[in-house]
Structure 1
Amino acid sequence: MDKLSLSDLSILLVEPSDTQRKIITSLLLKENIDSVDAVSTVGEAAAALKNHPTDLVVSAMYFEDGTGLDLLKKIKQDKELAATPFMLVSSENRLSKLEEFKQAGVAAILPKPFEPLHLSRALNASLDLINTDELDLDLFDVHEVRVLLVDDSRLARNHIRRVLEGMGLRKIKEAENGAEALTYIKDHQFDLVVTDYNMPEMDGRELSEFIRFNPETTHIPIIMVTSEAADSAHMTNIQQTGVNALCDKPFEPTEVRAMLAALLSE
């Protein structure tokens, strides 16, 4: 299958404001995207997704008949639509609200107003989710790399799994929290652990400490996926546990590809 370019993308823009729809459409046109269908409600978006093929959904957060999170969850819970990237465009700055989108598998989050550079980066991150490209590793057959994916959000796990599978990783086992992950680690061998930070029962920091200080697992590379700020006290503590790499949510393919290529080549 040939790779898509930005000019090939078919975008569904979901925005209640007529003015904002015009502004965002004009900015998309400047990125050489000609195919933009615009609707103003969650219901119209759901109908459009069922009736017309769409490569990317670009959505606001609040509508008269629901929220962008409602729409994102509808997409991710539909087997036919689940792989469709979703980009949030919103002036919302409450971390708790944005965290809900990150946990649900959003591809990118753009503030309102945004700069063209931010739009370009978000579009390219979304395009990376569509255009799969297998990793070429010197030390491993990428299809044989054994991955333990740990996250308490099923939607987040689904998103991360799609990113990893798009790079050729096939042997992925999932756990809902650190405690469940430990039961798998005791019975199975893994070449890589990708874990969320905030989880019930046992969080990512505690899981990482167990892996790093257990002689049988100390060699396993660990990628920590988190929404925490890189300079927060939590992140300082995490880095001291021996985590190999920190990755932000949204889980961007370009960043993850570079991490995997480095970690699996050591």
Structure 2
Amino acid sequence: MGNNSQLQNIHVLIVDDEKMIQRLVYDVLAQLGFRQITVASSGRQAIHLVATKPFDFIITDWRMQDLDGIDLVEFVRKSPESKCPHVPVILLTGNTEAHYVVRARDAGVNEYIIKPFAAEQLVRRIRAVIEKPRPFVVTKTYRGPDRRHQDLPPPDGKERRKQRHRPEPSES
């Protein structure tokens, strides 16, 4: 991941109502070389912060007392008050069922981490949003990162986007 001087200029917002998770995430970021780290203890506090100044990425919990992480992501993506509608968002959650993953994806979450998680998992997701950012998509019904992590054809083999010519692999 970039050198420490680059990371020092990246402003991160951590949003979690659990002090232990706040500390874990903060410590991981600090060890990586991040220096501009803001911590919010609630979704409402986070909304106030993103309406006040831009962030380079957000790490948020899903379930919080006052306002959940999905509400925060929807504010960030859709509200005219958001100073950072295109910011990458990493969501921390205990929700493992597929419909939760789909809901988070549809809200515009970039990365999804299941609790409990290891620091290495968080580091991998941070690397992904910094080193391999996905294109941002804005349509009438969706604002967020391109939902496809890789440029692969869909599982059913029917490409609905314009097909780009790809040379066939050569035989050796």
TM exceeds 0.5? Answer: yes
Instruction: Measure the CA separation in 1 of the matches of 2:47 and 2:10.
Output: 19
Instruction: Measure the CA separation in 1 of the matches of 2:122 and 2:140.
Output: 27
Instruction: Measure the CA separation in 2 of the matches of 1:61 and 1:51.
Output: 22
1:81 offset after TM fit, Å?
A: 2.2
Q: Report 1:139-158 matches (<5 A).
A: 154-155=141-142, 158=144
Q: Is the 2:15–2:42 Cα contact (8 Å) retained in structure 1?
A: yes
Instruction: Measure the CA separation in 1 of the matches of 2:43 and 2:79.
Output: 15
Q: Give the corresponding residue for 1:160.
A: 146
Q: Report 1:9-20 matches (<5 A).
A: 9-20=10-21
Amino acid across the alignment from 1:83: H
Instruction: Measure the CA separation in 1 of the matches of 2:33 and 2:116.
Output: 20
User: Which residue of 148, 153, 158 maps to 1:223?
Assistant: 153
Please tell me whether Structure 1 or Structure 2 has the larger radius of gyration of its CA atoms.
1
Q: Give the corresponding residue for 2:86.
A: 83
1:90 offset after TM fit, Å?
A: 1.5
Residue 125 and residue 78 in structure 1: after superposition, are their counterparts in 2 closer, same or farther (change >3 A)?
Answer: farther
Residue 83 and residue 112 in structure 1: after superposition, are their counterparts in 2 closer, same or farther (change >3 A)?
Answer: same
Higher helix share: 1
TM-score normalised by L of structure 1? 0.50
- Aligned-residue Cα RMSD (Å) equals 3.3
Over residues 44-84 of structure 1, what are the superposed CA-to-partner deviations in whole Å (9 max), with x where a residue is unaligned?
Answer: 00111122331111100111112100000001103542111
Residue 32 and residue 43 in structure 1: after superposition, are their counterparts in 2 closer, same or farther (change >3 A)?
Answer: same
Amino acid across the alignment from 1:96: H
Structure 2: 5+ residue stretches without partners: 168-172
TM-score normalised by L of structure 2? 0.75
Aligned length: 155
Q: Give the corresponding residue for 2:96.
A: 93
Q: Is the 1:104–1:153 Cα contact (8 Å) retained in structure 2?
A: no
Instruction: Measure the CA separation in 2 of the matches of 1:21 and 1:7.
Output: 19
Greater RCO, CA 8 A, separation 6+? 2
Q: Give the corresponding residue for 1:228.
A: none
1:242 offset after TM fit, Å?
A: 5.5
Identity over aligned pairs, percent: 16
Amino acid across the alignment from 1:19: M
